[in-house]
């Protein structure tokens, strides 16, 4: 007696094959022009955030530490603080907390805009 079992006869494999074909045949969600513009703008904003960074100055005197926001500047050149202090750049640091806050804010706004223009806008 010969067993003539073939994988095509297995109901589980037939069901999986039909399910995969159904998934592949459905139309993949497309990105609208507005969503594409939002993504490009978001990427440009992230690049700007990474290159034009916030700076803070830290000063420690008599055991007391003071941190002061001193402005925005390119990441390779801290902002000028004073002509009286020639070593101003030695006490300046990039303010990473502000950068994280900026990236988070840009992501939230871009995410809301992306999903808001997802279904309502037409091509």
pLDDT in tens, 6-38: 666 677 778 888 777 777 666 556 778 899 999
Residue 1 lies in a domain: no
Residue 44 lies in a domain: yes
Please determine, for residue 85, whether its predicted confidence score (pLDDT) is greater than 80.
no
Interatomic CA distance for residues 92 and 79, integer angstroms: 8
pLDDT score recorded for residue 123: 44
Residue 48 lies in a domain: yes
Residue 109 lies in a domain: yes
pLDDT score recorded for residue 44: 97
Residue 53 lies in a domain: yes
| Strand runs labelled E in the chain | 52-61, 64-74, 92-94
User: Residues with Cβ < 8 Å from 67, sequence gap 6 or more?
Assistant: 56, 57, 58
Please, what is the average pLDDT of the chain? 80
* Domain residue limits at 55: 33-79+88-123
pLDDT score recorded for residue 121: 43
Residue 11 lies in a domain: no
Number of domains in the chain: 1
Residue 4 lies in a domain: no
What is the pTM (predicted TM-score) of this model?
0.64
């Amino acid at each position: 007696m010969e067993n003539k079992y073939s994988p095509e006869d297995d109901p589980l494999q037939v069901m999986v094959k039909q399910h995969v074909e159904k998934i592949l045949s459905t139309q993949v969600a497309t990105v609208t022009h507005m969503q594409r513009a939002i993504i490009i703008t978001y990427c440009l904003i992230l690049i700007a955030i990474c290159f034009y960074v916030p700076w803070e100055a830290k000063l420690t005197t008599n055991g007391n530490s003071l941190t002061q926001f001193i402005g925005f500047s390119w990441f390779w050149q801290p902002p000028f603080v004073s002509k009286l202090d020639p070593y101003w750049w030695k006490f300046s640091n990039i303010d990473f907390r502000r950068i994280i806050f900026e990236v988070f804010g840009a992501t939230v706004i871009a995410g809301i805009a992306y999903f808001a223009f997802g279904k309502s806008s037409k091509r």
